[in-house]
Amino acid sequence: MDSFQNYIDGQWVSARSGHTFTNHNPASGAALGRFPDSSVEDVAAAADAANRALPSWRATPAPQRAEILYRVAAMMRERKDDLARALTTEMGKVLKEAAGDVQEGIDMTLYMAGEGRRQFGFTTPSELPNKWAMAVRQPKGVIGAITPWNFPMAIPTWKLMPALISGNTAVFKPSQYAPQTAWHLTRLFEEAGLPPGVLNVVFGDGPDTGKAVVEHPLISFVSFTGSNAVGTEVARRCAELGKGVALEMGGKNAIIVLDDADVSLALDGVIWSAFGTSGQRCTAASRLIVQRGVLDEFQTRLVERTEKLRLGPGLDPNTDVGPVINPAQLDKIAAYIPIGQAEGARVATGGRRPPATDLTGGYYFEPTVLIDARPEMRVAREEIFGPVTSVIRAGDLDEAITINNGVPYGLSSSIFTRDIDKAFRAIDGITTGIVYVNAGTIGAEVHLPFGGTRGTGNGHREAGQAALDTYTEWKSIYIDYSGRLQRAQIDTAS
């Protein structure tokens, strides 16, 4: 088994305690590699290094910072296939989706490298004569980046690229379930010539390593993506410690299918959104809100399509749906089936671990469709994060929008309709952070803001220009060249 190390101050180092943990291949359960199980001391060393590197990185012109990002992107492109295979091996998603995960990392890196020559502020006329007013962006300082396992390449780049291009330094704590992809990304930064200390990576679990990142006094801002349970705790600690925090958490995303929809197209969108990445996307479609008139046809065809999906290892080119991440997640998904049945939902297909012996050892769950679900059921309100989707009946567009908006989360929604008026009414009435028309709930592009309302987040957005707001502070500057004291609001009073 290979052994991996933390990256602190430009050096590869073991955890000070010498403790390690192991990542596993979800397709087989096989152990893959040994990683440092980092403690408070390791995180302190990383935060110190990031803090020491901050003045010179902040003073490095942004176009020069960008050159390093361009080099990272070029290497990611060259090694895309190898990176995707490594990602599938430790995280389980099918190879073509792993390649998409890496591609999203490339796209984000190039986008943010471009921001190196677009760190625009603005000027505005002062309310007083002979006085200049302007505003510029400044880095926040040392950023703590805590990431989940489901997009082990894309999500770290969503955080690290805007943070670094803006002149911040970082302590990065990737998920303990997908550390190897984070290690590969770190190697790319090292090869690209990133100065020591600008990016520091500490491997480990949440309660020890993640908590230490949240609590270290030199880390002034925490960017967290993960579950609501953990994100809420992270936010509470950040509030107590007076730190800024950006939260991207769970989803309970819905696809609305109206009577006038192209049902074949809607089914394509549903299959991709509900069962892609085995339903383990924050934007996965775990609710299907279907109008009465098309419900029977839709359900029949959905079950037929779902039963054709091939479950298997992500590296097998014939696989449509890979394993889920770990045994705990498998148990959680399985437990939701009787919960739904007890509330009156019925399993139309799936609902169990596959009996096939060649999948023994891996963490597989059959793609599952629950029917007769109602909006108030737990399976229709809580994030399951697996290949399970629930069909809910709606009478009309208004009822569908009400059901769509009536969950504690607010990430992504979609509507299938051929009626342009209804599409625009839905765009207007849906209150999630992302809305798709005639496409599934997944497929975000890096140059648009990404994030959710309600319980999904705390108002920050990742990606696009919006990410720069997360990783910079505005500084307003007034330059008075009148030669006398001019008092705003007082000398201008009419």
The region, left, alpha or beta by phi > 0 then psi within -120 to 50, assigned to residue 323 is beta
Q: Verify whether residue 97 is a known catalytic residue.
A: no
Contacts of 218 (CB under 8 A, 6+ apart): 47, 48, 50, 51, 142
Q: Alpha-carbon distance 58 to 414, whole Å?
A: 41
Evaluate the CA torsion angle 218, 221, 227, 229 in order and state its sign: positive
Considering the complex, what minimum distance in angstroms separates the CB of residue 249 from ligand NAD?
A: 6
Is 282 one of the catalytic residues?
A: yes
Q: Which is nearer to ligand NAD, 159 or 393 (CB)?
A: 159
Catalytic-role residue among 97, 248, 383, 462:
248
Q: How many CA atoms lie within 13 A of 100 on its CB side?
A: 13
Nearest 5°: the CA angle 399, 400, 405 is 100
Beta carbon nearer to ligand NAD, 48 or 383: 383
Q: What is the DSSP-derived secondary structure letter of residue 444? A: -
Residues forming the site for ligand NAD (CB under 6 A): 146-151, 155, 173, 175-176, 205-207, 210-211, 214, 225-227, 230, 233-234, 248-251, 282, 383, 385, 411, 452, 456
Active-site hit among 282, 366, 383, 462: 282
Q: Which is nearer to ligand NAD, 116 or 387 (CB)?
A: 387
Q: How far is the CB of 304 from ligand NAD (least distance, A)?
A: 29
Between 258 and 442, CB nearer to ligand NAD = 442
Rounded-to-integer distance, Cα 224 and Cα 144, Å: 8
Least gap, CB of 250 to ligand NAD (angstroms): 4
Name every residue whose Cβ is closer than 8 Å to that of residue 462 and which is 6 or more positions away in sequence: 158, 159, 225, 246, 248, 449, 450, 451, 470
Residue 22 backbone dihedrals phi, psi, to 5 degrees:
-120, 140
Residue 186: CB minimum distance to ligand NAD, A:
15
Tell me whether residue 147 or residue 291 sits nearer to ligand NAD (CB atom): 147
Tell me the closest approach of the beta carbon of residue 489 to ligand NAD, in angstroms: 42
Helical segments of 248-294, H only? 263-275
Catalytic (active-site) positions: 248, 282
